[in-house]
Every structure is written in structure tokens, then in C-alpha cells.
């Protein structure tokens, strides 16, 4: 059982001991710290508003109630979207002119997990500096609750997924006519969370025939909710059985998008962003892109084909977003299927991703499989080395950076070494003594071999 406190929020497993797990006491404590931070930041305001929303996991209603009542106790007004998605809460914050937002979701983690993901007044994830301030407030328990006449007001608003869909349909590059003309048939795996509400509704609005699989938002995840190949056998079979054009898979909070080709094969999470970027860049006649250091080189290749510039950021959505702003990026995201399209908002959004991808496929007038085959083919390997707490991980990474200093080395987040035909990214975990090892090459064998080589080299240092 685990409780992880970080600058982006708090997540953990439900039940167990206070301070070791995400118990009701921990949820209240962290909600109070965030609410206090927002109050301090807006001390001149008479009324402070925070938007909350949750995915469908079983503990969601309980955690939502605790968080909501804590904020009310601080004198903060709460706008509760109920069952929602991460991107829906993100777009709601500025629409409601709120001062922040909390998304109650553990994203792709199994059902025993939950979390508080924290937003600023723009509906974007907090900066590291702000996150540190909240951790300090929580540690000191420096809370100042409101007196009875100053308690916050609670309001429930249920229609924001519909509003979110309308905002997606307004985007100029969402080609509604082409999608309707294509007469797509799509299978959707909503992993029994809020994607089962949002994605079918979006497809209906786009005149796409939708076959639902695991779209009942009851929080009983029918498989591991991380949208990886080994967890998606059911939808792969159903796509083939129903002779669908493609399959769409989202994680429980709908900020990661994976696609299945018509033959049941994986389009590849890394290539969700590549395809959407290809479409946006083609319509935009070029432009810049950003993904994190652990994402596929294919995005760089496609960007350069369109005459744009690709930049890699440190891992983490807040880092990707900041780099996107710094480089005036037209589209970016993460290789885990996270699409960030500034024309909509600065957050990973599977609804936007679905609409852009279907627009691209409809314009290309080719199959999903053919589209995937049109992109540069890379293969990734993901490994890790378990270390003892006494080992100096930073020293190991510095040694590796120095050893390969004549190569293209990036040290903004661990050590990434770019070779001519392949790359390796070494990152230390912030929560456990582990070095994560990501490699990419032109074949799976070469990616695996590169990882094995560096694991051997690191063990020789230890």
C-alpha cells in the first residue's frame, strides 16, 4: 500500500494507515493545503471558486465528498462536475472564471488507487514551485478554516462533458463533413470509467457509428486500465469481429488515447501524437512540436518533413506545456497517447485527439493500418534497474553523461543520449531507488540490445 506526495498532487491506495495510504484524513489534509494555497494567492478576493470532477473509480464519490466539504470549510465555493474527465475539468476552470481545480483520479492506475490532481486558474497543472508551497502547507498543517457565516457554497453542474464536446466541434481543423462522409464504424473501450460517457457522445456528435465495450461508468475496470497492448486483447478481437474501421481506447480519466487498427493490431500509443501532429502540421503548413525526452523520434521526423522544428522537454505534462509555450508550438504532448492542442487548451485531451485523428483519417481516405504504415517505424524498450538506497543515482547518471560526452547528450531530465539510429534515456525515480531505462531503435531487437548494453555498463559502475 502506498501514498505518494509530489508537486503535482497526492496519490495512493485507498485504506490502511494514515500517512501511509490515501485515507480520508490524508485526502482532507491535502485538500486543505491546496485550498489554503489558493486562498493565500487570492487574498484580495471576496469569493474564491474551485472546480472539482472525478473519474468513475469506486472510491471517487467518497474522496470527492471529503475534498468538497474541506474546501467549503475553508470558505471556498465549490463547483462539482461529478463524473467527468481530466480535460473537461481543465477547460471548465477558465469558463467558470474559477481560481483552481482538482481532478479526483489516479489516471491509469488500478482501481485501488485514487489521487488529487491540482490545477491553477488557467486549468493547467501547477508549477513545481507552487506544488512545493502546497507540500509545505500540508506538512505544517497551516490551515485557517472559515467561521460558520463564511462557509463556501456548493453547486453541482452536470453538463460540462456536453459543453466540452461542443468546444471540440468548434475547432477549425475538426472536419465534421469529412468524418460524416467517411461513415466510420468504431469500437470504444471506456474501461468502465468516464471515457464511456464522453467518447461515445463525441462520436455520436460526429455521426460516427459507435460500438461500446466497457463503457458503463461503474469503476469496475475489466482489465488493467493502462492502455497498453497486453491489456487490449478484448477490443482488438471485437474490432475484427465487427469489421470496424478502428478501435479507440482511453484511460479512466480520458487524457491518454490509444488506437487499434482494423486488423486488430496496435496503432501504437507513441503514434497517436505523430498522426495528430501530421494532420495539424499539414493543414497549418508547418509549425513547431514538442514531446518529452522519452517519446518517439517519429514526431521529430514528421515535424521536419513539414518544415517545422521539434523540441524535447523534461518528462511531465507541466514541462511539456511550458516548452510548448516557449517555442510557440502548434501541437505537442507525450508519447503515452497524450495530445495537447493549444488551439483548444494546454492539457492532454483524448476528445481533441479523437476528433483530430478521425479528421486526418477521413481526409487521407485510407485505412488506419495504411496510415500507421506511412510513418517512420521505431521500436521502444522500457526497463529499469533496482538499486539500494545507499547508491548515489545522480553520480551514476553523471558518469554515463561524461562517458558519452562526444554524442548528442541531453541532461535536462536524467541523461538522454542520441545516437545516429537509436537513443537511450536514463531517468531516476523520485519515489524509489530505481533508474528507468527507455530505448528506441529501428527494430525491437536493437532497442532491447541497447537497453541490455547500458544495464551492463551501469552495473559495472555500481
- 117 has which bridge partners? 9, 103
Catalytic residue among 107, 236, 295, 350: 107
Distance between alpha carbon 256 and the CA centroid of its chain, in Å?
5
Q: Is 107 a catalytic residue?
A: yes
Kindly report the number of other CB atoms within 10 A of residue 384's CB atom: 15
What DSSP string describes 158-212? --HHHHHHHHHHHSTT--HHHHHHHT-EEEEE-TTSTHHHHHHHHHHHTT-EEEE
What are the CA-CA distances from residue 129 to residues 29, 41, 64, 117, 326 (Å)?
19, 13, 26, 15, 18
End-to-end Cα separation, the chain, in angstroms: 29
| Contact (CB, 8 A) for 251 and 290 | no
Greatest pairwise CA separation for the chain in angstroms: 67
The rounded distance, in Å, linking the Cα atoms of 396 and 175 is: 50
Contacts of 219 (CB under 8 A, 6+ apart): 55, 56, 57, 58, 60, 111, 192, 193
Question: What amino acid positions are annotated as catalytic residues?
Answer: 107
Amino acid at each position: 500500500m502506498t501514498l505518494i506526495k509530489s508537486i503535482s498532487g497526492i496519490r495512493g491506495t485507498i485504506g490502511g494507515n494514515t500517512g501511509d495510504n490515501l485515507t480520508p484524513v490524508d485526502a482532507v489534509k491535502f485538500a486543505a493545503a491546496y485550498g489554503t494555497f489558493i486562498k493565500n494567492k487570492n487574498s484580495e478576493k471576496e469569493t474564491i471558486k474551485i472546480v472539482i470532477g472525478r473519474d468513475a473509480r469506486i472510491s471517487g464519490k467518497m474522496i470527492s465528498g471529503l475534498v468538497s466539504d474541506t474546501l467549503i470549510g475553508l470558505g471556498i465555493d465549490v463547483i462539482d462536475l461529478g463524473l467527468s474527465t481530466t480535460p473537461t475539468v481543465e477547460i471548465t476552470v477558465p469558463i467558470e472564471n474559477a481560481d483552481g481545480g482538482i481532478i479526483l483520479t489516479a489516471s491509469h492506475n488500478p482501481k485501488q488507487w485514487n489521487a488529487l490532481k491540482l490545477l491553477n486558474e488557467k486549468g493547467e497543472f501547477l508549477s513545481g514551485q507552487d506544488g512545493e508551497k502546497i507540500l509545505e502547507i500540508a506538512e505544517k498543517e497551516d490551515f485557517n478554516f472559515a467561521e460558520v457565516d463564511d462557509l463556501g457554497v456548493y453547486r453541482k453542474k452536470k453538463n460540462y462533458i456536453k459543453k466540452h464536446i461542443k468546444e471540440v466541434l468548434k475547432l477549425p481543423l475538426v472536419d465534421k463533413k469529412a468524418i460524416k462522409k467517411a461513415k466510420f464504424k468504431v469500437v470504444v473501450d471506456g474501461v468502465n470509467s468516464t471515457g464511456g460517457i464522453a467518447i461515445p457522445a463525441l462520436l455520436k456528435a460526429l455521426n460516427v457509428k459507435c460500438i461500446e465495450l466497457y463503457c458503463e461508468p461503474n469503476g469496475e475496470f475489466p482489465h488493467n486500465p493502462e492502455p497498453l497492448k497486453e491489456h487490449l486483447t478484448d477490443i482488438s478481437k471485437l474490432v475484427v469481429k465487427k469489421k470496424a474501421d478502428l478501435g479507440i481506447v482511453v484511460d479512466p480519466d480520458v487524457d491518454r488515447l490509444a488506437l487499434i487498427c482494423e486488423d486488430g493490431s496496435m496503432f501504437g500509443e507513441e503514434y497517436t501524437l505523430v498522426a495528430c501532429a501530421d494532420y495539424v502540421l499539414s493543414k497549418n503548413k508547418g509549425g513547431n512540436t514538442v514531446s518529452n525526452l522519452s517519446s518517439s523520434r517519429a514526431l521529430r521526423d514528421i515535424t521536419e518533413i513539414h518544415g517545422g522544428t521539434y523540441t524535447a522537454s523534461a518528462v511531465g505534462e507541466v514541462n511539456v506545456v511550458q516548452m510548448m509555450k516557449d517555442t510557440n508550438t502548434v501541437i505537442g504532448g507525450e508519447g503515452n497517447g497524450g495530445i495537447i492542442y493549444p488551439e483548444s487548451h494546454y492539457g492532454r485531451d483524448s476528445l481533441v485527439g479523437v476528433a483530430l485523428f478521425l479528421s486526418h483519417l477521413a481526409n487521407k481516405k485510407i485505412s488506419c493500418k495504411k496510415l500507421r504504415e506511412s510513418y517512420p517505424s521505431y521500436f521502444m524498450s522500457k526497463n529499469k534497474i533496482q538499486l539500494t538506497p545507499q547508491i548515489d543515482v545522480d553520480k551514476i547518471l553523471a558518469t554515463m553523461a561524461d562517458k558519452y560526452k562526444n554524442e548528442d547528450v541531453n541532461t535536462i531530465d536524467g541523461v538522454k543520449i542520441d545516437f545516429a539510429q537509436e537513443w537511450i534515456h536514463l531517468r531516476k525515480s523520485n519515489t524509489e531507488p530505481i533508474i528507468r531505462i527507455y530505448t528506441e531503435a529501428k527494430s525491437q531487437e536493437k532497442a532491447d540490445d541497447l537497453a541490455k548494453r547500458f544495464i551492463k555498463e551501469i552495473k559495472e559502475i555500481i
